[in-house]
Amino acid sequence: MKPIRLLLIWAVLAGLAVFSGCAGEAPADMPWAAPPAAAGGAAHDGIQETLDAYGNALVSKDRAAFLAQIDPASTAFLEQQILMFDRLGDVPFSKYEIVATSISDPAPGTAIAKVEFAWNYAGSFTGRPNPERSAFLLVKKAEGWRLAGDATAQALGKPRDAHLEDFGTVRMLNGDRVLVLYHSESEAVAQRAATLTQNAFPRLETSLPGVTLPKVPIVVYDSHDQVEQAFPGRWATWTGGASLMLGSETDQGGEIIIDAAAFNNVDGYAPEYNPKMLAHELTHVALFSLTTTRTPPFLEEGLADYVGQDIKSVLLPQKLRNGASFRPTLSDLYRPGGFNALLDEQAATLAYEQADTAVDFLEKRYGQDAVPQLIREFKRRDDEEKDQDRLVDGVFRTVLGVGWDEFEAQWRQYVISGS
């Protein structure tokens, strides 16, 4: 299973000046229970069929078929499931898949099934995203197994992360290039986010020739509290927008996540921020299938700011002209996770200024195709050279005709001279 990458928009605000970039990555292994054994056994025949019927009914919007999979005696769970089904009535699923990964028998006629479930939206990415893990309590009835409760906390040691439908009825704005899921109180943010994101596509497609995307999902939460419940502990710093990788294959892609309260707040005093943020996050969604952990993070972050027209260089030229030492360096930022160790505001500012100016320099010195060519060459050579220093040097020589040291010297001179 591919790790989930969560890319967070930073903002360092000085007056109305806004700094944006990305940092932070969710661990590949969340603290779930011990790896389960394969589900199966004659005593559990029919459990997967029940899960399949439940998911298929959500896709087809067949309320009767959906309720037929719920134990009517489990009244509280039944009411919760009815509410969930009704709240998802506007969401056009193309797939809602639930797979049992292990099953236990806590008492005669009952079972707890650990499951992985994933879904896709019609018109959007078709590949299976990274599955969430959860668990259901089931009871054996004359007509077969029926869902009787959420057993995630009991089986996995943590409650299920919240979903958008847990907070209210989910609305869907179906745009030309995006699908926006939101609650009615965030309709204005949803409409603005759809327009701004769709406006960013032409510059993205110019910067990444040949890249095509289906409709990109945008999920709008009403507040940071909702974001924290949906992604507990994932973001210590939050300023309105992030991109979530659903998988690294071409057809898996990702989605953009928005905190409507923060979006509105920033819009009130820095209206230039949200258009840049959405273009930045859209770029990350496009890059998910084109990059690996070996791709220098500064290329990804710098290109995202380039598409967002958010290239800045204020602190970095002063440091270079004065000969001051600082961390991280551009070489630090070609290592996997190079942006994850930014411990203070100055380090974050220097990191993104380096990424921004490096991509800007590549575009001006080596042409508009330089960054996409580098990104694709790193992807192609992912398994060839395990030493990151040699890999970076080799890729730069192949694509640009100069090694890393020469490129870094050129870039430094470009930043110092200002041109």
Domains of the chain as residue ranges with CATH: 1-31+163-289 (3.30.2010.30), 42-157 (3.10.450.100), 294-419 (no CATH)
Average pLDDT along the chain = 87
Q: Is 414 helix (H, G, I), strand (E, B) or coil?
A: helix
- pLDDT computed for residue 21 by the predictor: 37
Which tokens hold the place of 123? 């018109």
The share of the chain scoring above pLDDT 70, in percent, equals 89
Q: Among 31-40, 72-81, 303-312, which stretch is predicted with the lowest mean pLDDT? A: 31-40
Max avg pLDDT among 172-181, 316-325, 326-335? 172-181
| pLDDT: which is higher, 248 or 311 | 311
Position 38 confidence tier, pLDDT thresholds 50, 70, 90: very low
Give the model's confidence band at 22: pLDDT under 50 very low, under 70 low, under 90 confident, else very high.
very low
Confidence of residue 366 (pLDDT cuts 50, 70, 90): very high
For 175-223, the pLDDT digits (tens) are 999 999 999 999 999 999 999 999 999 999 999 999 999 999 999 999 9
Whether residue 11 contacts residue 273, with contact meaning beta carbons closer than 8 Å, is answered with yes
Q: pTM for this one?
A: 0.88
Over residues 97-118, the mean pLDDT reads 93
Lowest-pLDDT choice from 33-37, 137-141, 345-349, 362-366 = 33-37
pLDDT band at 86 (very low <50, low <70, confident <90, very high): very high
Q: Return phi, psi of residue 223, to 5°.
A: -155, 165
Q: Is the pLDDT of residue 339 over 90?
A: no
Of 83-97, 181-195, 239-253, 344-358, which gets the smallest average pLDDT? 239-253
pLDDT range class, residue 42, cuts 50, 70, 90: confident
Query: Which H/E stretch holds residue 139?
Result: strand 132-141
Q: Which two tokens stand for residue 181?
A: 């899921």
Grade residue 298 by pLDDT with cuts at 50, 70 and 90: very high
**Greater confidence, 236 or 196?**
196
C-alpha–C-alpha distance, residues 312 and 234, integer Å: 27
Cβ-contact 117, 134 below 8 angstroms: yes
What is residue 161's DSSP assignment? P
What are 55-74's pLDDT values in tens digits? 999 999 999 999 999 999 99
**H-helix or E-strand spanning residue 405:** helix 404-417
pLDDT of 177 reads 96
Which ranges in 161-296 belong to alpha helices (H)?
Answer: 187-207, 224-230, 260-269, 273-287
pLDDT at residue 16 tops 60:
no
Q: What DSSP letter does each residue of 86-136 carry, written as one string? A: HHTTT--EEEEEEEEEEEE-SSTTEEEEEEEEEEEETTS--SPPPPEEEEE
Q: 138-147, 244-253, 276-285, 303-312: which range is least confident on average?
A: 244-253
112-162 confidence digits (pLDDT tens): 999 998 999 999 998 888 788 899 999 999 999 999 999 999 999 999 999
On the question of pLDDT at 337 being above 90, the answer is: no
Q: What is the pLDDT of residues 267-294, one digit of tens each?
A: 999 999 999 999 999 999 999 999 999 9
